[in-house]
Amino acid sequence: MPALLEKARAKINLTLHVRGRRADGWHDLESLVAFAGVADVLRLEPQAALALRVSGPTAQDAGPDDDNLVLRAARAFLARFPAARAGRFDLVKRLPAQAGVGGGSSDAAAALRLLARLNDMRLDDPALHELAAGLGADVAVCLEPRARMMRGRGEELGPRLRLPPLYVALVRPGVGLDTAQVFRAMGYAPGEASPFGPHPEISDGGGFEELVAALRRGRNDMEDAACALAPAVSAALAVLAAAPGARLARMSGSGSTCFALFADRRAALRAAAAIRRARPHWWARASALA
């Protein structure tokens, strides 16, 4: 059987509301998620034994191969479906780590998609969704990488949303952020609810101006804590907000990647190119969102 390929697309939180902290210590989230074209690439060789090889420009930040989420996803899949087939994975890492774009989670979801294809399993199989949700907060939403609302710990997924054409310039300003550390810096006690307002309604199939207006009524509640921990995030937000044509600048996830939203693809490309020239130690890319 020929090798199978999947892209592990960057997950972008266009909004991220932290509704509070539950008694069990987990935080309840509400987020509009979309996916960029920039991605890691995962290859599965079905005839080989289960293994993982990692390469690519950001491979050095991916951590030990044996603890990689790709192998953890594959082992969990085989434990859940003992008769299933697997193989050897080759992961080309292009997304940065500790960046708020779900690189590891998207890699794990891509591994599950490959294993589902190899074993003639539907992606909407409830067992597969349960398996994804158990691997990490963002894995379930990355399983079918299309724009949608995500709630709870990340396991509650809304229907797919049709967004207008959107383009982003993405910037990781040379530093990473640990998600748990950002949550600690926010300071929510178990059982404490958020004092901030509700998430805006997001229309399915609405226009660009309508979406931008809704996003401006939303926020990323982790942004202030992230900026306090890593002032470079504030610098990235300021640079993106000043880019010609930028309609909104915000942090994705728990950081450190920030994005500016554009209606025009060329404006996004120009912004990312200008930032790379001015700050070559920053990771900067432009992409469409879906």
Sign, CA dihedral 41-45-46-50, equals negative
DSSP letters along 221-251, please? TTHHHHHHH-HHHHHHHHHHHTSTT--EEEE
Which amino acid is residue 101, in one-letter code?
V
If DSSP codes are grouped into helix, strand and coil, which group holds residue 38? Answer: strand
Active-site residue flag, 7: no
For 127, counting Cβ atoms within 10 Å of its Cβ (0-12 exposed, 13-18 middle, 19+ buried), the class is: exposed
Which amino acid is residue 234, in one-letter code?
S
Vertex 165: Cα angle to 145 and 150 (nearest 5): 35
The single residue of 7, 11, 40, 93 carrying the catalytic annotation is 11
The two beta strands, 51-55 and 88-92, are: parallel
Active-site residue flag, 120: no
The single residue of 61, 138, 221, 224 carrying the catalytic annotation is 138
101 vs 106: CA distance, rounded Å: 9
The residues carrying an active-site annotation are 11, 138
